[in-house]
């Protein structure tokens, strides 16, 4: 018998502020700096490797100014109910 667990998630809009090219000899990957809307001011910018895969399996990169979505997912076992939302129930094995 297979049990499918749905992860709790939220999606926030963001925008690629800049593409950061590393020094050629550093070995570091190119990064995209993304401003996440709705995040606290000091924590709104994240930097991620600028390497994505399109629906055809082709490697692609984000462009400066691109509108993106930042999705955060968590397994139900590491979440709890928000105030006023009742209790989260999990079944034990």
pLDDT at 85: 74
13-66: pLDDT as tens digits: 999 999 999 998 999 999 999 999 999 999 999 999 999 999 999 999 999 999
- Confirm if 63 and 17 have CB atoms less than 8 A apart: no
The predicted model scores a pTM of 0.77
- Confirm if 88 and 79 have CB atoms less than 8 A apart: yes
- Confirm if 37 and 18 have CB atoms less than 8 A apart: no
1-20: pLDDT as tens digits: 445 579 999 999 999 999 99
Distance CA(65)–CA(35), nearest Å, equals: 10
Distance CA(48)–CA(40), nearest Å, equals: 18
Residue 87 has pLDDT above 70, yes or no: no
């Amino acid at each position: 018998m297979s049990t499918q667990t749905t992860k709790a998630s939220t999606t926030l809009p963001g925008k690629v502020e800049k593409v950061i090219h590393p020094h050629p000899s550093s070995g570091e990957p190119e990064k995209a700096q993304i401003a996440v809307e709705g995040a606290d001011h000091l924590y709104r910018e994240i930097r991620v490797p600028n390497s994505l895969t399109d629906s055809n399996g082709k490697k692609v990169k984000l462009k400066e100014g691109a509108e993106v979505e930042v999705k955060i997912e968590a397994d139900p076992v590491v979440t709890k109910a928000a105030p006023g939302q009742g209790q989260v129930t999990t079944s034990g094995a």
